[in-house]
Copies of this chain bind each other. A is one copy, B any other.
Amino acid sequence: MGRKREFDEEAVLAGAMMAFRRHGYAGLSILELEAATQISAGSLYNAYGDKEGLYRAVFDFYFRKVIDPRIGSAQTLDDLEKVAIDLFNPPFSDGLGCLVTNAAVEFRNSAGTGGYFAGRGLDTIEAAALRAVRADMGDGNEPAALRIVLLYQGMLVLTRAGRLSNAYKDAVRAEFDRLRRQAKSTFPAIREQNAKGD
């Protein structure tokens, strides 16, 4: 069956993920990818076909390791608040932002890999926000969910600009507090009802 791969694919993808997160797609050269992954260009091309193939693999990895477990599985406002506030804590406070947001800005809604994964990531985030708001606040509060999406994307822009100061943490927490308060006062039975459903 031929020679075995010498590299640890998870380590390569993790290294490439960091590099893509830092430099974007076009801004990252194969030379830099060799350094970030610790494998040669020959091996990268053999394993992933081309730079875009590696980008695809990195996005799959990012969804599998980050987006899906953290956001795709979020069910409540508390879950989403944790996602947001974690931007102030390691490892998410590294100022590199989110591959999805960065790709959305770099590729817009274009046809290729970047546009596709950006759209899929934003879908996941929007769906999670709607799910959490409906669960905790009931129907009719979709605007609150969309504001959470906007707040979160805004945080990712500011963290990348190195401007997500602690003042923003209070601002975001206050918004989640307000939503939970509103949930309790308007639909007092919803949380308990959900709890029963477990």
Once A105-B106, A109-B95, A151-B151 are accepted as A-B contacts, the answer to whether A157 and B156 lie under 8 Å apart by CB is yes
State whether A105 touches B108 (Cβ < 8 A): no
List the B side residues contacting A150 at CB < 8 Å: 150-151, 154-155, 158, 168, 171-172
Q: How far is the CB of A1 from chain B (nearest CB, A)?
A: 41
Point out the residues of chain B lying under 8 angstroms from A109, CB to CB: 95, 161-163
Decide if B162 touches A143 in the complex (CB within 8 Å): no
Do residues A161 and B118 form an inter-chain contact, with CB atoms below 8 A?
yes
Q: A76 contacts the other chain (Cβ, under 8 Å)? A: no
Check A104 against B157 for contact (C-beta < 8 Å). yes
Q: Which of A113-168 contact B (CB under 8 A)?
A: 118-119, 122, 142-144, 146-147, 149-158, 160-163, 167-168
Q: How large is the interface on A (under 10, 10 to 19, 20 to 34, 35 or more residues)?
A: 35 or more
- Most B CB atoms within 10 A — which of A101, A151, A153, A154? A154
| Smallest Cβ-Cβ distance to A104: which chain B residue | B161
For the complex, give the distance between the alpha carbons of A85 and B151 in Å.
Answer: 16
Contact status of A157 and B161, CB under 8 A, knowing A143-B174, A168-B146 = no
Partner among B96, B106, B153 whose Cβ is within 8 Å of the Cβ of A158: B153
Closest to A95 in B: B108
Contact of A142 with B167 at beta-carbon distance under 8 Å, contacts A24-B106, A147-B151 already known: yes
**16 A–B contact pairs at CB < 8 A?**
A24-B105, A96-B108, A104-B158, A104-B161, A106-B106, A109-B162, A118-B161, A122-B158, A142-B167, A147-B151, A147-B171, A150-B150, A150-B155, A150-B171, A153-B158, A156-B157
